[in-house]
Amino acid sequence: MSKFQKTNDFNEIVYGRRSIKVYDPTVKISREEMSEILEKASKAPSSINMQPWRFVVIDTEEGKEKLAPLSRFNKEKVLSSSAVIAIFGDKKNFDYAEEIYSNAVELGYMPQEVKDAQINAFTPYYANMSDDVMKDTIMLDAGLVSMQLMLVARAHGYDTNPIGGYEKDQIAESFGLEKDRYIPIMLLTIGKAANEGFQSYRLPVDTITEWR
């Protein structure tokens, strides 16, 4: 199977994934396909389904030129990629609770009484949640969506690289987001790999697992 083709082969998706350093800069991803990728990734689970992840897709040359100085030693990945997805966590994610639960009721996913009970139970909890607990919750949820995003991209025939080394204190404001509201999670480059990438060693299951 060509790595540039879509696939539903889960083993190919998992075992074929590499963290790619250089992309083919001539390959572009349409915004329609990118939206489909993000929609599938957003099926990831989250705490009480609040979906706190937010994406900024940087797919223009102007956007990537703005991002490049903030990406430290990752400039080549950023500039050659089809796009960079800046993943943030929204500290005000509970503002969407009514929309999320109301639509769940309308679609028949949840009875009205369950929605009412959830809203009544979690509204005071979220209102009094500390910054540390909120950040921990967001980081967990955003990690889930980020990994799912990488796998979905692979299923679409693209390659990715998660980046943690960038100017996190500047990224939100540089792209028009409120710095105090949006927590930077990672940058994710996406595109067609210019090379095969490298395999990497993984610790054996016996080393990382205990049975009780």
Tens of pLDDT, residues 75-115: 989 999 999 999 999 999 999 999 999 999 999 999 999 99
Does the pLDDT value for residue 42 go beyond 50? yes
pLDDT, mean of residues 120-130: 96
pLDDT, mean of residues 51-74: 96
pLDDT, mean of residues 34-60: 98
Does the pLDDT value for residue 1 go beyond 50? no
Does the pLDDT value for residue 159 go beyond 50? yes
The DSSP string of the chain is: --TTS----HHHHHHH--B-S-B-TT----HHHHHHHHHHHTTS--GGG---EEEEEE-SHHHHHHHGGGSGGGHHHHHHSSEEEEEEEETTGGGGHHHHHHHHHHTTSS-HHHHHHHHHHHHHHHHT--HHHHHHHHHHHHHHHHHHHHHHHHHTT-EEEEE--S-HHHHHHHTT--TTTEEEEEEEEEE-BSS---------HHHH----
Share of residues in the chain with pLDDT > 70 (%): 98
Give CATH superfamily name and number for 10-189.
NADH Oxidase (3.40.109.10)
